[in-house]
Amino acid sequence: MAYEINKTDGTAVATITDGTIDNSTTLTLFGKSYSGFGELLNENLVKLLENSSSTSAPTAPLKGELWFDASTNQIKVYDGTSFKPTGGAKSQATAPTSPSAGDLWHDTDDDQLYVYTGSEFLLVGPVYTKGQTLSGWKIETLASAGGNKVVSSMYAGNTRVAILSKETFTPSDSQSGFAEIKAGLTLNSTLSAVFEGSTTSATAVDVSETSNTSATVIAGGNFLRADAADTTTGALTVDTDSGVIIGDAQELTITVSSNDVTVAQTSQDKDLSFTVNDGGVTKTPLAFTGSTGSITMTGATGITGDVTITGNLNVSGAYSYTSSDIVEHTDNFLKVNAGQGEQDAGLIVETSDTNDARLFYDVSENRWSAGEGDITVAANYSPLVRLKDAVVDGNANKEKVLKTTAAGLLTVTNLTLGAVGSAITTSDTSSTSVPTIGQVATFGNLWGGSAKYESTSAPTSGDGNDGDFWFIREA
């Protein structure tokens, strides 16, 4: 008689005749009086024990059948279409494949637990990995004289950074960095922890108090005001090259570039002035004129003290030296008329009248001239004598300064002499008087009583006496 094999819901699986077997399912079903039923029965029991453990899924599974996937070490159940993991936690380094919603996965690398949502694994906790150590909020209970206090501690890398508490208390057990815990958020004092960043608003500062409660807690009244005039007793440092900007139109700026400081008046054509209080009177000894770019210096004293100028000093106005000292220059030459082309230039000496004395270089004559009075009147000035201007021949070069030749000779056309010395009034040979012009004719007669002779021939030894003059003329 044949067997009819049914499922739990009564649905027939197979009909097996006597002495035969059926392999339409994962298990082998056998009919009545099948001779090898004992082996097949035992194999079926083993398959049930191991849930058909294999790297390949059963080929003829029934809905609800279990299969242990040996490749992933997971127990799976057949849902009528495919084998799905049965759920539960999977502990491994990588996320499980083909998970079902609600499956748990323990990440062995980071010691974190994930749950599968049906589309992805979401972290359940903890929020930090094993390598990061304790980081984030942790609820703790701290003992105090007033009883245990529940607080929220903020950790980063296993270090407590802050404690959030609803009340102020002192822990009974020492807590590093938290000698006292304030209501609100208390930061770890050993970390020098601070709040950084920007907020959209902040509590207003009470400026009614100026007494500091400690060296680190400053009263609001000790902060400089930005909305009103204020005073500071300490040094004010602006630690930026952008510097200081002053004025409702930002006219004055003090900036730094490459350690060079610039003080600037930025308004077009406006002045930059420096004033002083001189006996109650405001004076401006120094002003920079914006419309011209010039510098104006006023006041009776001007600049006092020594002034050193490296470079050129260009003066377009008069140079006035009021000191009684002599002006000294260490240069070997003093240059005037620089860059002015061919113009007369030199030295002017101021006199009590209007006719100042001048020593100048006459470019039309290419030599120095000196004199007094109107420079346009040639008669007022004379050229300075140079050796190169003197001549030895006064006949060939009229109205020139004379000099002797190398042999001591001098040539002139005529020579008119005034009285030189006095007339000879005695025939005494001991007289040394120099005769005046006009006395030469009597010179020979009076000098030592000698006579003057005139002849066309030279005298002989018997002519005349000692001291006589003998003139020889042509016949």
Q: Quote the number of domains for the chain.
A: 4
CA distance 84 to 72: 12
Give CA angle at 110 (104, 116), nearest 5°: 20
Whole-model pTM: value is 0.36
CA distance 217 to 134: 33
Domain end marker among 34, 50, 66: 50
Q: Are 254 and 237 a contacting pair, CB within 8 Å?
A: no
158: in domain: yes
376: in domain: yes
Quick: pLDDT tens for 50-67: 999 999 999 999 999 999
Task: Give me the pLDDT at residue 465, please.
Answer: 75
Contacts 24+ apart (CB under 8 A), 415-422: none
Average pLDDT over residues 117-132: 92
Please tell me which residue, 13 or 314, carries the higher pLDDT value. 13
The sign of the dihedral angle between the CA atoms of 199, 203, 206, 210 is: negative
State whether 297 and 347 are in the same domain: no
Q: Are 61 and 69 a contacting pair, CB within 8 Å?
A: no
Domain end marker among 384, 417, 448: 384
276: in domain: yes
Beta-sheet pairing, 452-455 with 469-472: parallel
259: in domain: yes
Q: Are 367 and 361 a contacting pair, CB within 8 Å?
A: yes
Task: Give me the pLDDT at residue 444, please.
Answer: 47
Burial of 343-370, coded b for 16+ CB within 10 Å and e otherwise, reads eeeeeeeeeeeeeeebebbbeeeeeebb
146: in domain: yes
Q: Calculate the average pLDDT of the chain.
A: 84
Structure tokens at 333: 């030459």
Structure tokens at 468: 């006589």
285: in domain: yes
30: in domain: yes
Closest to 68 measured CA to CA, from 47, 50, 81:
50
Host domain of residue 366:
343-384
User: Residue 398 above 50 pLDDT?
Assistant: yes
26: in domain: yes
Query: Rounded to the nearest 10 degrees, how much is the dihedral formed by the CA atoms of 182, 185, 186, 190?
Result: 180
Quick: pLDDT tens for 238-294: 999 999 999 999 999 999 999 999 999 999 999 999 999 999 999 888 899 999 988
Average pLDDT over residues 181-189: 95
